[in-house]
Amino acid sequence: MDILLTNDDGICAPGLAAAAKALSEQGTVWVAAPASDQSGQSHHRHLSGPLRAERVEFPGAAGAWRIHGTPADCVALAVTTLINAPVGLVFSGINHGPNLSSNLLYSGTAAAALEASLAGIPAVAASCAAWDEASLRQAAQLACRAALAAARAGQTLALNLNFPAAGRYRGVRVCRADGVCRHPAPFERAGETLFFPPRSPGVWQPAGRDALALAQRYVTVTPLSAEWSDLSRLQMTAAVLEKAFGEEQHIFTGEEDT
| 122: preceding bond cis by omega (within 30 degrees) | no
Before 94, cis peptide (omega within 30)? Answer: yes
pLDDT at 180: 94
pLDDT at 153: 87
Helix (H) or strand (E) holding 222: strand 218-223
Angle at 59 between CA 57 and CA 63, to 5 degrees: 50
The secondary element (H helix, E strand) that includes residue 109 is helix 108-118
pLDDT computed for residue 198 by the predictor: 86
Helix 133-152 vs helix 14-23: crossing angle, to nearest 10? 50
Q: What pLDDT does 258 receive? A: 43
Model pLDDT, residue 257: 47
Closest CA to 234 of 208, 205, 256: 256
145: phi then psi, degrees, rounded to nearest 5:
-60, -45
Q: For residue 188, give Cα distances in angstroms to 38, 80, 143, 239.
A: 22, 42, 38, 42
Q: Which of 113, 139, 141 has the alpha carbon at shortest distance from 128?
A: 139
Residues lower than pLDDT 50 in the chain: 257-258
Straight-line distance from the first to the last Cα atom of the chain, in angstroms, rounded to the nearest whole number: 44
Nearest Cα neighbor of 43 from 187, 224, 222, 211 is 224
From CA 85, how far away is CA 168, in angstroms rounded? 38
Residue-wise pLDDT for 72-92, tens only, equals: 999 999 999 999 999 999 999
Which pLDDT belongs to residue 155? 81
The residues near 14 (Cβ < 8 Å, ≥ 6 apart) are 131, 133, 136
Q: 55 Cβ partners below 8 Å, 6+ apart?
A: 63, 64, 65
The per-residue pLDDT for 228 is: 85
